[in-house]
Structure 1
Amino acid sequence: MNTKRVFHLHLVSDATGETLNMVARAACAQYEDARPIEHVYALVRGPKQLERVLGEIENAPGIVMFTMVNDELRSRLEKRCAELQTPCISVLDPAMLALGKYLGKESSHKPGSQHIMDAEYFDRIAALNYTMAHDDGQSGGDLDDADIILLGVSRTSKTPTCIYLANRGIKAANIPIVPNAPLPPDLETAQKPLIVGLTTSPDRLVQIRKNRLLSLHENTDTDYVAPDVVADEIAFARKLFARNGWPVIDVTRRSIEETAAAVLNLYNERQRAV
């Protein structure tokens, strides 16, 4: 029996730590026989905050990953880690150095620059508001204002994919497909949005729906999880997609992030063709 190696992972950031956390988890995911104990320190922007972090690192030695733009704080962190013989990695250095060399400029050295409340930030908020107002078939007759519309039978990851897209500034609506139930009238007249169908394998969908019912402590003896009924739902949806010429993405083996990336690829291709 294999036992996972447990280690301490210290994530130090002078901003929210979102970027650092994603990079660290993506890297750790490549080592299935290791399990990190995460110590997260966000908004570390002063000597006192850093000293507390250094004390935590000393008490639980492991590996340190950081994103810090203040040269003095960064130098102090790297020096102390060297004294403790603790690996200390700046995850943005390779990208920043390459970009600076290409542009022939130095970075602004502003912590959390990606979170500045500029026009792009407010576009993301507007996209999220639109997406939440148009979840699960809700429509105020303004579907043509969407950038993307996702359709699929129940539990094909429409809502989480739309929310992920909204965080990228994409106005995304989603509509459930129910056999013999009409679609929103304004879907037929929508010209601006990219309309994408999501599908999955019947076996996988039955499993997901059963897990959902169990989590809600509801009866699983229902057509909602009956294999033949589920297969008919998926077949009905596929015929609908084909009849309208909508592109289809199979989400059976895809994460939300992978589904959203596939949708964005279709969207960007469409934008380039316009």
Structure 2
Amino acid sequence: MPRLHLHLLSDSTGETLEMIAKAALAQFEGAEVMRHFWPMVRSQQHLDRIMGEIASNPGVVFFTMVNAETRTRLEEHCRTLGLPIVPVLDSAVDALESALGQHPKARPGRQHAMDDAYFARVDAIHFTIAHDDGVGWEDWEEADIVLAGVSRSSKTPTSIYLANRGYKVANIPIVVESPPPPALFGLKHPLVVGLTTAPERLVQVRRNRLLSLNQAPETAYVDEDRVAKEVQYARRMFADNDWPVIDVTRRSIEEASAAIINLYNTFRGIREGAGQGGGA
């Protein structure tokens, strides 16, 4: 399969563009795509420099640009080079313009305005990074969600993804030889979620991790019987404490996070309902 160069140009941070490109590429399994990311393109001079790179690596161009002059210049360059160009938000904006009966505000990065939600998300990210891998257990009561699971069960990447969605997350490794702090079992505010995975899949992930670190891939860390007992120990802990469990064996980080968010929304609804009932 030939390699495709995909150029992503935005006059803002490009977060939206990256997510759209990732979602679209997920439909093409095995495709060899080289992504080139060009954020904060806000002048014609900057665009002209980038076009030299695009001309050297021709491919498909995705863009989100609200400045009419910069957009027109980009379109002209791509026509000259014979490159396909896709304004990824145009259809959505046109539909909303028609439905709302008003013109869109042409301001780069408008969707990323530094409002209260933005600062809450930054706060969540700081909290989550500071409470990774069992650190800072004294503050777990301040978390929205606490993830528990054996080593390499996707706790950290799932925590970071949830933090980017605005949730304060702590995570704790479940280790047979080192029980978690008692505070974990008395938490009131956060939802505790157990992450589990198939032992054979876990062995494969751990072995790949050791190889990436140039370490011997045959240790107790990847012993199949030992790993199976670890997973069983963790699942028993989850059941004993009535914590909901997410099996991440065949789930992507995004899918696992969506399931956790659904659990959290239900948990919060029940808690708020109980609080209202108590005040009646």
1:101 aligns with 2:98: yes
Aligned match of 2:207: 210
Displacement after TM superposition at 1:202 (Å): 0.7
Which runs of 5 or more structure 1 residues have no equivalent in the other structure? none
CA distance in 2, matches of 1:216, 1:87: 41
Displacement after TM superposition at 1:104 (Å): 3.3
1:157 aligns with 2:124: no
Q: Deviations over 1:144-173 (max 9, x none)?
A: 111000001111011111111111111000
1:117 aligns with 2:129: no
Equivalent residue of 1:141, what SS?
helix
CA distance in 2, matches of 1:71, 1:129: 37
Give the direction of change, closer, same or farther, for the CA distance of 1:37–1:206 in structure 2 (3 Å limit). Answer: closer
Q: Return 75-84 or 156-165, whichever deviates more.
A: 75-84
Aligned residues: 271
| 2:42 pairs with one of 30, 45, 48 | 45
Q: Return 62-71 or 178-187, whichever deviates more.
A: 178-187
| 1:64 pairs with one of 61, 65, 75 | 61
Letter of the 1:224 partner, please give it: Y
CA distance in 2, matches of 1:5, 1:30: 17
CA distance in 2, matches of 1:128, 1:114: 19
| 1:131 pairs with one of 107, 111, 128 | 128
Letter of the 1:82 partner, please give it: R
| 1:141 pairs with one of 138, 142, 157 | 138
CA distance in 2, matches of 1:232, 1:86: 55
Displacement after TM superposition at 1:179 (Å): 2.1
Aligned match of 1:73: 70
Displacement after TM superposition at 1:105 (Å): 3.0
CA distance in 1, matches of 2:160, 2:251: 16
Letter of the 1:174 partner, please give it: N
CA distance in 1, matches of 2:51, 2:214: 46
Letter of the 1:72 partner, please give it: E
Aligned match of 1:176: 173
1:240 aligns with 2:211: no
Aligned match of 1:252: 249
> Taking structure 1 as the reference length, what is the TM-score of the superposition?
0.89
Give the direction of change, closer, same or farther, for the CA distance of 1:212–1:34 in structure 2 (3 Å limit). Answer: closer
Displacement after TM superposition at 1:63 (Å): 1.9
Give the direction of change, closer, same or farther, for the CA distance of 1:214–1:58 in structure 2 (3 Å limit). Answer: closer
Equivalent residue of 1:64, what SS?
strand
Q: Using the aligned pairs only, state the percent identity.
A: 55
Displacement after TM superposition at 1:247 (Å): 0.8
Letter of the 1:100 partner, please give it: E
1:27 aligns with 2:28: no
Q: Deviations over 1:58-101 (max 9, x none)?
A: 44432211000012221232244334442211111122223333
After the TM superposition, which parts of structure 1 deviate over 6 Å for at least 4 consecutive aligned residues?
Answer: none
| 2:33 pairs with one of 21, 31, 36 | 36
Q: Would you say the 8 A contact 1:139–1:184 is kept in 2?
A: no
Aligned match of 1:270: 267
Q: Would you say the 8 A contact 2:134–2:171 is kept in 1?
A: yes
Q: Would you say the 8 A contact 2:44–2:73 is kept in 1?
A: no
Aligned match of 2:185: 188
Q: Would you say the 8 A contact 1:5–1:33 is kept in 2?
A: no
Q: Return 226-235 or 36-45, whichever deviates more.
A: 36-45
Letter of the 1:142 partner, please give it: D
Q: Deviations over 1:9-49 (max 9, x none)?
A: 22211112222123223223322364233333221111212
